[in-house]
Amino acid sequence: MATPRLTLREITERLGGEVVGEADAPLSGIASLDDAGPGQLTFLASPKFRSRLAGTRAAAVIVGPKDRDATTLPRIVAANPYAYYARAVALFHPAKPVVAGIHPSAVVDSSARVAPSACVGPFAVIEAGAAVGERATIGAGCYVGEGAVIGDDTFLHPRVTVYHACVVGARGILHSGAVIGADGFGMAPENGAWVKIPQVGRAVLGDDVEVGANTTIDRGALGDTVVEEGVKLDNQIQIAHNCRVGAHTVIAGCAGIAGSTTIGRHCLIGGGVGIIGHLTICDGVTVSGMTLVTKSITAPGTYTSGGPFMPHAEWLRNAAHLRHLDRIAHDARAASRQGKADGTDDD
């Protein structure tokens, strides 16, 4: 599909914002400040990159109100330049229209309900009683289990698996390798062995959820695992059984959320974060990358536990001190008690 050529006037007519300078020169696309060339649109999303604005070869730029006069280039002034850039990219690279129909190699049970406007790709499997909504796309090699529901305008990239009875809302995006509704890790110990606990709940995703490649959302043991509307999940995330992720929360790659944990709305969970089971994270929490969360968080804010890197020799010295930390603390307490007994303490 050819990239459309758009003017600043046409862009603002669709997205809003104010044009300053030449409004009718055609633009061929959008790129970063450093990479944009003649005829392209760029954006300034942060003041720390303002020094690069003078050297850009772009024909026009998206800026915030504070940077309205930071350049003489034709520009769009928008309240949130980064979000505006995201929407502008979509104008230059519109989604391919859904080509309705079922590929001859797909296997669709006779009791499944596939909307006439949906697309089912080659070698996809749709089991009995499943439902695929209007304009949904089921990519090549996908599996939609018995009784599962795929909402309107949802896009399953190739090789997505949605297990039986699970629900994916409208306008979702599931990337390749995502697994929705695998069994949760439930085992009961008995006589030195493990008895599998049947996982009979579902995994339920709300509208406008995006799930990254090779991310797994387990089904509930009895109730449901729920991912609320607008949640965005990166690649290779594990969400265990009976978790609930609140609306519009974002979780970065390789995070692991143990079972029966509730994460609030509008949270930001960094890459590599681990959250142990049966905790509650309130709304509006940011957890820095590589943090281990071992207790519930009841107040909004930013929480961090991961240590920054350092030269290896320095780390070895610090680790040696850390090994003796308990003894040092014990000696300090003993010295304090002795000082109080002798009347020589600082107090």
Q: Counting runs of H as helices and runs of E as strands, what totals does the chain give?
A: 4, 37
Q: Which residues contact 250 (CB under 8 A, 6 or more apart)?
A: 231, 232, 267, 268, 269
Give the distance, in angstroms, between the CA of residue 238 and the centroid of all CA atoms in the same chain. 12
Catalytic residue list contains 248: no
Bridge partner residues of 108 (DSSP): 126
Rg, the chain, Cα only: 27
Tokens representing 221 are 């043991």
The upper half-sphere exposure of residue 274, i.e. CA atoms within 13 Å in the direction of its Cβ, equals 6
Parallel, antiparallel or unpaired: strands 193-196 and 187-190: antiparallel
Q: Give ∠ CA 142-145-147 in degrees, rounded to 5.
A: 140
Query: Which amino acid belongs to residue 262?
Result: T
CA–CA separation, 63 vs 50, rounded Å?
10
Biggest CA pair distance of the chain: 91
d(CA 218, CA 215): 10
153 is written with which tokens? 């305008």
Q: Which helix (H) or strand (E) holds 82?
A: helix 81-92
Cross-strand partners of 31? none
Residue 41 to residue 55: CA distance in whole angstroms: 14
> In whole angstroms, how far apart are CA 272 and each of 109, 125, 255, 275?
40, 33, 4, 10
Among the listed residues 164, 241, 278, 312, the single catalytic one is: 241
Q: Are 125 and 144 in contact (CB under 8 A)?
A: yes
Catalogue the active-site residues.
241
